[in-house]
């Protein structure tokens, strides 16, 4: 049995906006699933429908096999963490966390015991009696998590919960969140528009675009095997090259491009005779000084000149101008000494093995 099932779920708002359509998803117990997509693609609407804050207009939502579509939020086994945390500023940390338990008719001792345990777990015990508005962003984030978890939900729903934090704190809390999720074994459904967050945290990612699911897969799958043009453009930094006259043999597709014949793994969405895009991940490309590469066996070879280069930490970013027709990004490690000698204006060749290249349908 799944912890969460969405069967053909859709939402059309009363003004006619189709926010979500035909959403199918099955989530196993203890899975960490991220909804990823640009602003307005329907992530929050879907999360709110799972929580029960938004009525669904099509399909059904099941939690642990039970249809919850018409059950009010407080009776669903879910907790939701909002982007702004929605804490009561003038209540103490203890009162904020205990709030969710008030409807549960527990004895005073039972309630205090649960609140104490969770405050301890989140390192909040020293601030138990402080008002929520007298705490830092990171501490408020922890209170929101503690309040969501103290009711022991089957599913924790998180709506961009790290959005309000600065970059350093976000990294710290990301790690904590991942550890916490592992430790508790609770199913997490997480909404984000930041791909690094989705790729780093989740077991599976649902990539969404304009209210529809584009692809569901592990971070590696959506990163290395995009199924659609949207996913290839949205995830990672792929070079996208137009191709035509697709032919497929032994599982490898070949297309004609402005840069010659290129090969890659065809996504299941591509059809021979239709427009095709070649997607090459920036970090899967090899770069070498023009001429030097000729001795090496190389597939998908492209000639160009270095238009830009800059290093961030241990990653060297190049932008290669392909004969004035197109620019592509290439990322390599800064430990490669030969590459560190390359300068803007140098003539280079990039190439990529066909097993790292994906052919996706255009549009
Ligand atoms: P995301 O969370 O991916 O940014 P949302 O789920 O918030 O996207 O919104 C999806 C679409 O639904 C958007 O076009 C948004 O403008 C629209 N929308 C959201 N809430 C409402 C509402 N209450 N009434 C009408 N349209 C809405």
pLDDT-derived band at 280, boundaries 50, 70, 90: very high
Residue 166 shares a structural domain with residue 249:
no
Q: Does the Cβ of 247 fall within 6 Å of ligand 1? A: no
Which of 15, 16, 17 has the most ligand 1 atoms within 8 A of CB, as the residue to mutate?
Answer: 17
Average pLDDT over residues 256-280: 92
Q: Is the CB of 209 under 6 A from ligand 1?
A: no
Please write the tens of the pLDDT for every residue from 220-248: 999 999 999 999 999 988 999 999 999 99
The 10s digit of each residue's pLDDT in 166-185 is: 778 788 888 888 888 888 88
Q: For position 112, which CATH number holds?
A: 3.40.50.300
Nearest atom, ligand 1, residue 20 CA: 10
Same domain, 32 and 84: yes
List pLDDT tens digits, range 322-336.
Answer: 988 999 999 998 887
Residues 313 and 183 in one domain: no
Task: Say if residue 328 is in the same domain as residue 195.
Answer: no
Which among 224, 254, 270 is the end of a domain? Answer: 224
Choose the final residue of a domain: 224, 248, 271: 224
Is the Cβ–Cβ distance between 318 and 270 less than 8 Å? no
* Domain identity same for 61 and 194: yes
Beta bridge partners of 321: 305, 327
Q: Tell me what pLDDT residue 206 has.
A: 98
Q: Are residues 183 and 246 in the same domain?
A: no
Are 32 and 139 contained in the same domain?
yes
CATH number at residue 336: 2.40.50.100
Q: Is 126 in the same domain as 220?
A: yes
State whether the Cα torsion 91-95-101-102 is positive or negative.
negative
Residue 83 vs residue 350, higher pLDDT: 350
The answer to whether 359 and 276 are in contact (CB under 8 A) is: yes
Strand ranges (DSSP E) for the chain? 4-12, 18-27, 32-36, 58-63, 66-67, 78-81, 155-159, 187-192, 204-209, 212-217, 238-249, 252-257, 260-266, 276-281, 286-289, 302-312, 315-322, 326-333, 347-351, 358-361
Give how many domains the chain has, as a whole number: 2
d(CA 19, ligand 1 centre) in Å:
6
300 is in which domain, residue-wise? 229-361
Tell me the CA end-to-end span of the chain in Å, nearest whole number: 36
pLDDT mean over 246-263: 94
């Amino acid at each position: 049995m799944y912890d969460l099932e969405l069967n053909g779920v859709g939402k059309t708002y009363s003004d006619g906006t189709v926010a979500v359509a035909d959403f199918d998803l099955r989530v196993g117990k203890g899975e960490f699933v991220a909804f990823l997509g640009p602003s307005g693609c329907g992530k929050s609407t879907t999360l709110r429908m799972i929580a029960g804050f938004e009525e669904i207009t099509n399909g059904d939502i099941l939690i642990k096999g039970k249809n919850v579509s018409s059950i009010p939020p407080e009776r669903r086994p879910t907790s939701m963490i909002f982007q702004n945390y929605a804490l009561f500023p003038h209540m103490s940390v203890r009162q904020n966390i205990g709030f969710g338990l008030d409807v549960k008719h527990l004895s005073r001792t039972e309630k205090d015991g649960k609140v104490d345990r969770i405050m301890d777990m989140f390192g909040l015990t020293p601030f138990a009696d402080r008002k929520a508005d007298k705490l830092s962003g990171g501490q408020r984030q922890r209170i929101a998590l503690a309040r969501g978890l103290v009711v022991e939900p089957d599913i924790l729903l998180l709506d961009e919960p790290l959005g309000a934090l600065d970059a350093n704190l976000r990294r710290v809390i990301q790690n904590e969140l991942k550890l916490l999720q592992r430790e508790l074994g609770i199913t997490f459904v997480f909404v984000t528009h930041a791909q690094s967050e989705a790729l780093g945290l989740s077991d599976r990612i649902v990539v969404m675009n304009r209210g529809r699911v584009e692809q569901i897969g592990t971070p590696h799958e959506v990163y290395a095997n995009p199924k659609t043009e949207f996913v290839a453009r949205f995830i990672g930094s792929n070079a996208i090259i137009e191709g035509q006259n697709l032919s497929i043999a032994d599982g490898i597709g070949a297309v004609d491009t402005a840069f010659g014949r290129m090969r890659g793994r065809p996504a299941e969405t591509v059809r021979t005779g239709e427009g095709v895009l070649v997607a090459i991940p920036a970090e899967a490309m090899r770069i070498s000084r023009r001429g030097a590469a000729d001795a090496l066996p190389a597939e998908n070879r492209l000639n160009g000149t270095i238009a830009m280069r800059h290093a961030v930490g241990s990653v060297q970013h190049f932008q290669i101008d392909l004969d004035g027709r197109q620019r592509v990004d290439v990322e390599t490690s800064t430990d490669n000494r030969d590459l560190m000698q390359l300068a803007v204006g140098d003539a280079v060749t990039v190439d990529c093995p066909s097993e790292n290249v994906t052919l996706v349908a255009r549009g």
